[in-house]
Amino acid sequence: MCLRGIHKLGMCKKLRGNGVNMNIIYQEEKGIFHLYNDEISYLMMVLPNGHLGQLYFGKRIGEGKDYSYLLERMPRAMSSYVFDEEKNFSLAHIKQEYGVYGTTDFRSPAVEILQKNGSRISDFQFKDFAITKGKPKLPGLPATYTESPEEGMTLTVFLEDPVANIRLELLYTIFETGALARSARMINDGEDPVHLLRAMSLCMDLPDSDYEWVQLSGAWARERHVKIRKLEQGIQAVDSMRGHSSHEHNPFLALKRPTADEFQGEVIGFSLVYSGNFLAQAQVDTHDTTRILMGIHPSWFDWKLETGESFQTPEAVMVYSAEGLNGMSRTFHKLYRERLARGYWRDRVRPILINNWEATYFDFTEKRLIEIAKKAKECGVELFVLDDGWFGQRSHEKAGLGDWVANPERLADGIQGLAEKIEALGMKFGLWFEPEMVNKDSDLYREHPDWIIETPGRHSSHGRFQYVLDFSRKEVVDRIYHMMEKILGGAKVSYVKWDMNRSITECYSRALPADRQGEVFHRYILGVYDLYDRLTSRFPEILFESCASGGGRFDPGILYYAPQGWASDDSDAVERLKIQYGTSFCYPISSIGSHVSVTPNHQVYRNTPLHTRANVACFGTFGYELDLNKISEEEQEQVKEQICFMKKYREVLQFGDFYRLRSPFDGNVAAWMAVNAERTLAVVGWYRILCGANMPYGRIKLQGLNEEYSYEISGREGYYFGNELMNLGLVTTDYASGEGVDRDLCTGDFDSRIFVLTAKDTDQ
């Protein structure tokens, strides 16, 4: 169904999908659009000057009412006005859907277009609209999707600039949940090329600034730490100019009311489905209205749009929650787990793996790998992954990248032979690639030195002795695809770890003319997406895991192609509490690659108990980064128990509703839990950083249980009501709250426990 045009539609029929009331209404006489479902409403209207204005985004409100009173217009001193003889319509004080600079609005714009005469002024006026069931694909870009027309509705609003002859299409998809997806498309209908200097995915004007800003920031080995501060007048932002979404800042932000917490209060979340340079910005004017912008970073962006060509922005997803930060997160989790991630592995529990990197680094032989795999199989591991060093002359970090051919000195029978040996043990085989990079000491570079990103005549910086291949060029992507396709098609490979270990410097492509160099960053990411798409289409049952020196490209764009990502190179259990806690603000637990590694930890040299390392990692995809032959027999027995536990409960751990209970950023104790859809099974993780003497009693209020069910708790006698555990709490007191003299009962620092709750006497 596609309904189009203001003269053809007064009110469209209500859609009902899976019991959800979902609709898009256009009130022609007022020029108001109302998108709503059972949870949220989104209101916007055609303004008197033909632009599109923002009225409301929040909790569901009634349909059919005249909400035009929300458009407030008052004369203000020192303002400029759109209409002659009027002093009550200044865009500087009106909430807009896609703001432009220079025609009475002086805030940061959503769009900036350089035209032939040097002007950058735009005037996009409403022309038409279309309403369709479901959701259209965005060509060449990752995006959320619907599997049936009843899962969502899409509104496309058509606007035109009559002077520049540029069309603007604003796309809005409302889902069954509290999520709304947005993007924009520009089409050049003029006679001359133009240059897009700014094309944001989302512009959102809010009526006040009474929010706290929440971001996920950090650096290598401490990614996605939660940072919260008050929203103030002026501009605050997170961004990346590294060519990828980066370890430093994630393409996510949330605005929460000061009284909101994890489980109550208003929260609006914003997430960009993109893996390249991005900007997420809040601008609070001196009248305390707030403009949110999110999209491709405008710095170094300059896209030449020829006559008849179009440009599609990446998608941004907005989530409204009246149930605090956890409510926002659960909406993101469900949408991204079920309608962003795709393919064979989307809904399947992930195999428990062992990776040889921290066990061997570059120092391995096939015999050594088989020894590691045999012990892992004995312990119950399902997948063996061969990491860096298997190809070309890659015996160290200065050579071999780009030569995706097995080194016969290390693997006499090649990847095919090793894979067959691993399969013969009863395990699956996985392989590491870093397809976007090249070493100068490689056959590929010697053949094509012009294929790297570098500026002619200037010094070329390296990162880890490697250089970035110019993925803005199709012939480069084609060459890498054919090498990888040959390896994957010629061996029993069930898993690919896709790494990316440096940012882009000296950004320039020899394949593009001078007036298109501003396109390189975006074209590079489109090339990455193209390679991912071709490989995942060719090998649909291979599990792809993204990695970017750990968490340097952990974003929704990559999740579309790889349903899980290595969350951080830091595998220390204590550091991972913060990393995984912050990651869960936006990303589902099934996407979080988390493993048990050796102690002392290779990143921070901390010693943590084996059980705590596993208790953190089990809230993720789970695996091991060590040689199990080198741990004691007692520890090997622990590993076997851990793997049995994970196999039994990974369905709820990876796909259940996730609740953050206690933040590692706020104290000495952290806690979280996962609950299945029926609320008959829950797994609670409790973690204490440092032990102390004569500590207070401990209790944690649980979430997501059925109030009327009674639950048995592993390791405890009796039963506990759901409302009891959620209102009184789960007692976590241990011997640290007394003299602590029994060493068998006191594990000391970095302790943890897992509680399994099973409902009894239900009809489930």
Q: Which residues contact 494 (CB under 8 A, 6 or more apart)?
A: 351, 383, 428, 429, 430, 541, 542, 543
CA angle 36, 39, 40 (to 5 degrees): 45
What number of CA atoms fall less than 13 Å from residue 582's CA on the CB side? 31
Could you write out the three-class secondary structure of 258-300?
Answer: CCCCCCCECEEEEEEECCCCEEEEEEECCCCCEEEEEEECCCC
Coil, helix or strand at residue 184: strand
> Whole-angstrom Cα distance, residue 104 to residue 122?
12
Which is the catalytic residue, given 499, 657, 734, 751? 499
Whole-angstrom distance, CA of residue 164 vs CA of residue 184: 17
DSSP state of 322: S
DSSP class of residue 151 equals G
Query: What residue type is 757 in one-letter code?
Result: L
Cα 303 to Cα 186, 226, 277, 726: the distances in Å are 11, 34, 14, 53
Token pair listed for 61? 């409100």
Ranges of beta strands (E only) in 162-224 are 166-175, 179-188, 194-206, 212-217
Structure tokens at 215: 């971001």
For residue 341, which of 158, 131, 565 has the smallest C-alpha distance?
565
Q: Name the residue type at position 481.
A: Y
What gap in Å lies between CA 171 and CA 160, rounded to an integer?
Answer: 15
Residue 285 annotated to the active site: no
What tokens appear for 53 in the block?
A: 């204005």
Q: Determine the angle formed by the axes of helices 610-617 and 633-655, rounding to 10 degrees.
A: 20
CB 507 within 8 A of CB 300: yes
Tokens describing residue 487: 């390896």
SS3 303: strand
Whether residue 499 lies in the annotated active site:
yes
- Report whether the peptide linkage leading into residue 600 is cis, meaning its omega lies within 30 degrees of zero: yes
Q: Which is the catalytic residue, given 239, 441, 569, 570?
A: 569
Structure tokens at 672: 């979280």
Question: Residue 407 class from Cβ within 10 Å (0-12 exposed, 13-18 middle, 19+ buried)?
Answer: middle
Given the structure tokens 């007036």, which residue do they identify?
515
CA distance 648 to 570: 27
Dihedral of alpha carbons 576, 248, 558, 492, sign: negative
Structure tokens at 618: 């089990």
3 state DSSP class of 415: helix
Strand partners, 428: 383
- Answer whether 237's CB lies under 8 Å from 148's CB: no
Both structure tokens of 509: 């492509």
Nearest to 453 by CA among 368, 386, 528: 528
Active-site residue set: 499, 569
